Amino acid sequence: MSLTPLKTLQQIFGYESFRGVQADIIEHVVAGGDALVLMPTGGGKSLCYQIPAIVRAGTGIVVSPLIALMQDQVDALLELGVRAAFLNSTQDRAESLRVEQAYQAGELDLLYVAPERLLTPRCMELISRGKIALFAIDEAHCVSQWGHDFRPEYLGLSVLSERWPQVPRIALTATATAETRAEIATRLALDAAPHFVAGFDRPNICYRIIEKNEVRRQLLAFIRAEHTGDCGIVYALSRSRVEDTAAFLSKNGIEALPYHAGLDTATRARNQSRFLREDGLVMVATIAFGMGVNKPDVRFVAHIDLPKSVEGYYQETGRAGRDGLPATAWLAYGLQDVVQQRRMIDGSEGDQVYQRRLLQQLDAMLGLCETVSCRRKNLLAYFGQTIEPCGNCDTCLEPPEAWDGTVAAQKILSAIYRLWRERGQRFGAGHIIDVLRGQSTERVRQYDHLSLSVFGIGADLSVAAWRGVLRQLLALGLVTVDLEGYGTLALTESSRSVLKGEQTLMFKRHREAPPRAAGRRSTQDPAITLPPDVQQLFDGLRGWRSGVAHSHGVPAYVIFHDATLREIARIRPQTMDELAGISGVGVRKLEAYGADILACVGAQTSVA
């Protein structure tokens, strides 16, 4: 007799009950229904198709965009005693044939395949020769042409409904606005499927955004102060910036590895493998890295360049704290980031509609950076979710001071206007700020800007403060970057009302000094720090787990998550029944590792 979904969750995966909408989704798919699922990273999306695939007759075909993700998930399922396999380019012919034969013989619960392989005539014919339990399309946002991870091969997946109309399909993603959600449904022929939308909030992540000023040293100070010895990811926009930052961190005692599309395949694979299997490594990467990475103990995600969209930012920061323990999302950005992003948009392929969409995404990201209200509230509002102020972001922990910036805005808008109207000239931020502050630089003298009526009228504000004003004007659409003028500043139609005094502007005051340490979340947080005797047992269990993982050739968290080992260390189970009651210890793992774990606990107890 086959297991029910709940018994499958308890006996195989080792969890007592479903979370949130998991039970509704699983029940719907087990009954043969299609579904579109939005659930935050770490929210348990995988269970929504893994359990139906186990419960239903046949094999669940999982469309997965990344080889690393397939390997990771299959390793974890095999440890649980689930019959899982993948087909991808890492396998030789003999291994591929073995997997194909197992599928046709009905010996697999789940089979992972990349979309480009699945859609080949040979693979489609193979799939048709077996019994299909369901199709799961993971990372479904990849089908959105407006999204941050668009993959053209995903567009062909609508053929699944045409060829196998009776097989349920479930599309899953961690991030999508209502607009992107509608696009996913249309492109995957899931218009009639119900949408299951879980809350997007990740309350364990502390969001912090600061002004960029010698960003590598800011990053180093952040890691040393709050995340020494922790695993983290640092995102940068360019390959050269990735290489330089990884080298800089390594030189300063923080073990860091680079990852970007310009590295050869072997180097990328080696660095990713080390990141997944070793503790305390920092991966410095472009957005080429991270989708589908299931490492649960990433304690921070840092951005040293402005992300292109709120969706991308949310997806990337969601890779921190998948275990539910405190983690940090740290971002440093400056005025030059805005100029660089607008240049990239102007040089991108695509029509005006496409470029306008990219600009809208950038403006939303700017709005998140410059908000004076709760950062998390602003972030979740982008996805249509309303919350109260969170108490765990920089604007809640260190409320910014607001000030009437109307006069300052008029000064800088007047400077831009007069340079253009009186001299026919446009300049970048640095020169305009020099003029406002009355700086007699060589360039100011060269263009005879000492004689301008606006020269020196902004001496009361620092350079950093003026840059803060400019960033907020850009975020409000009151100033734009003239890309044809090599990043010079220009007015917009909306500037007129400010210049005429018809609009009052309240700005966030720039902090001349870094925020005080109060409110910072770090590895010393009580949720992470354990009493000495518990910590000693936890360290012993981690050491035992490392040995097992090494012998099995898998990341340590595939054997047990830290959260499970922490619970074991706290409870100190003395019997198999007590151990079985701990979250994350299923039947298969209890049989395989129960005796060893109890021995570790017993040895520690006897020493104590």
Supply the pLDDT for residue 174: 84
Instruction: List pLDDT tens digits, range 551-581.
Output: 998 999 999 999 899 999 999 999 999 999 9
Measured CA to CA, the distance from residue 12 to residue 4 in angstroms comes to: 11
Supply the pLDDT for residue 518: 37
Measured CA to CA, the distance from residue 365 to residue 313 in angstroms comes to: 8
Supply the pLDDT for residue 520: 43
Minimum mean pLDDT range among 152-156, 163-167, 351-355: 351-355
DSSP codes, 363-375:
HHHHHHHH-SS-H
Q: Token digits for 450?
A: 């000492």
Q: Token digits for 134?
A: 């369901």
Mean pLDDT for the chain overall: 90
Supply the pLDDT for residue 292: 60
Supply the pLDDT for residue 199: 82
Q: Find tokens 């959600």 and name the residue.
A: 181
Q: Token digits for 344?
A: 């990239």
Give the list of residues 6+ apart from residue 535 with CB closer than 8 angstroms, or none: 529, 569
Is the CB of residue 305 less than 8 Å from the CB of residue 335?
no
Burial of 556 (0-12, 13-18, 19+ CB in 10 A): buried
Residue 114 pLDDT > 50, yes or no? Answer: yes
Q: Token digits for 281?
A: 């490594």
Residue 483 pLDDT > 70, yes or no? Answer: no
Cβ atoms within 10 Å, residue 455: 20
What's the average model confidence in pLDDT over 502-530? 63
Domains and CATH numbers, the chain: 5-197 (3.40.50.300), 205-397 (3.40.50.300), 402-508 (1.10.10.10), 532-607 (1.10.150.80)
Quote the pTM value: 0.86
Instruction: List pLDDT tens digits, range 272-331.
Output: 889 988 889 999 999 878 766 778 999 999 999 999 999 889 989 999 999 888 999 999
Supply the pLDDT for residue 358: 87
Measured CA to CA, the distance from residue 448 to residue 423 in angstroms comes to: 10
Is the CB of residue 196 less than 8 Å from the CB of residue 22?
no
Instruction: List pLDDT tens digits, range 407-456.
Output: 999 999 999 999 888 788 889 899 999 999 999 999 999 999 999 999 99
The two beta strands, 59-63 and 110-113, are parallel
Supply the pLDDT for residue 513: 46
Measured CA to CA, the distance from residue 298 to residue 278 in angstroms comes to: 11
3-state secondary structure (DSSP) of residue 570: helix
Q: Where are the beta strands (DSSP E) in 236-350?
A: 256-259, 282-285, 298-303, 327-333
